[in-house]
A and B are shown apart, each in its own frame.
Chain A
Amino acid sequence: NAGVTQTPKFQVLKTGQSMTLQCAQDMNHEYMSWYRQDPGMGLRLIHYSVGAGITDQGEVPNGYNVSRSTTEDFPLRLLSAAPSQTSVYFCASSYGFEGVAGYTFGSGTRLTVV
């Protein structure tokens, strides 16, 4: 049981480049989400999904796209990377939307945009 798997763990991008952060879970969780964590800012929600084919925006969605074609996968796409997107990105999943049993987080992707 791998839980939530994020790849890559580290990435350096040049301004304007695009890339996809991968997230996969093997727990058959309905709810998946992407957060970014910046020093002094706490975790901020980027996008979330309550099931395959359904996505919605969180607090800081600009510059990011998501899709959910399967229950297991929830990739995050950076369309045109900017230095302001330098951050640590976490994918999380839970059985229910509210995560009453808590969210399961991946180990994160540390992204640097130069």
Chain B
Amino acid sequence: EDQVTQSPEALRLQEGESSSLNCSYTVSGLRGLFWYRQDPGKGPEFLFTLYSAGEEKEKERLKATLTKKESFLHITAPKPEDSATYLCAVTSGGSYIPTFGRGTSLIVHP
């Protein structure tokens, strides 16, 4: 059974204070790793898909990286509008159904 663990559960940053969120996974043959952003009261919004170790994707202040055991979502010089819950999900083996982690709640203070 695929397992996805996100850490920390919650993170508070000051505006401009860079940090990273972690998504560690245990799967039998990774197909894809996905990052989503979820604002309060809304559905998740797709950010990135990563497929193989060493791959990186960037979008504005966010950069996602992937190793064989984990993925990091690096947030550079965050702004208050980056405050949200960030979800990680994986697909593996012969299954296309993603397994989601519980998310990291990020709050960026001005």
Q: A residues touching B (Cβ–Cβ < 8 Å)?
A: 4, 40-45, 48, 58, 90, 92, 97-108
Contact = CB atoms under 8 A, between A and B. Distances in A.
Interface stretch (B14-22, B34-42, B62-70, B75-83): B34-42
Given A42-B102, A43-B87, A98 B43 contact: no
Interface residues of B, number: 22
A95 B98 CA distance: 15
A102 B34 contact: yes
B43 A108 contact: yes
A44 B89 CA distance: 11
Contact of B91 (A43, A98, A105, A106): A98
Contacts of B44: 43, 90, 103, 105
Nearest to B34: A102
Interface string B44-68: 1111010000000000000000000
B32 A100 contact: yes
Contacts of B41: 107-108
A34 B31 CA distance: 21
A104 B49 contact: no
Interface of B: 31-32, 34, 36, 41-47, 49, 87, 89, 91, 96-98, 100-103
A42 B103 contact: yes
A104 B87 CA distance: 14
B100 A42 contact: yes
Nearest to B98: A99
B42 A108 contact: yes
Residue of A97, A100, A107 contacting most chain B CB atoms (<10 Å): A100
Nearest to B4: A42
10 contacts: A40-B102, A41-B102, A42-B87, A43-B87, A43-B100, A99-B98, A101-B49, A102-B47, A105-B44, A107-B41
A108 B45 CA distance: 12
A110 B97 CA distance: 23
Given A105-B44, A108-B42, A98 B100 contact: no
Given A41-B102, A42-B101, A43-B44, 13 more contacts: A42-B87, A42-B102, A44-B100, A45-B97, A48-B97, A98-B32, A98-B91, A99-B96, A102-B46, A102-B49, A103-B44, A104-B46, A107-B43
